[in-house]
Structure 1
């Protein structure tokens, strides 16, 4: 399998961004974004789809931690 061309990468990233925007606008309701998900999966290599899905999950988790002002153990040690 050859690496995607610049045009293919741009199409993939665009489809990903449209899908993620739909999820954001619909409170993560994937059923409302099914057509965009299909477009995302058809324009991106399967490994990229898996990576982007994991990346989104991580970014959402990170946002939740920041919103809760999570401090890792030892971060509040006195000097």
Structure 2
């Protein structure tokens, strides 16, 4: 597979940005953004789609931690 050229990269990034905006506007309901999802998958290499999807999940998680704070999951406690 050859690396995407400048115009192909820009088309991919634009498709990603449109999808992410749609997801933000629709509270992450992907069924509302199916056209953008299809365009994103068509214009970006599969590895990039996987990377950008994980990246969005990470950024959303990071934002949540920064706004709501971190609270550890309740697990088994050690008895002293």
TM-score range, shorter chain: 0.7 to 0.9
Could you state the TM-score of these two structures normalised by the residue count of structure 1?
0.87
Could you state the TM-score of these two structures normalised by the residue count of structure 2?
0.86
Alignment correspondent of 1:70:
70
Deviations 1:26-79 (A, max 9, x none): 0000000000000000000000000000000000000110011338xxxxxxxx
Q: Aligned partners of 1:17 and 1:59: how far apart in 2?
A: 14
Q: Structure 1: where are the runs of 5+ without partners?
A: 72-79
RMSD: 1.4
Segments of 4+ moved more than 4 angstroms: none
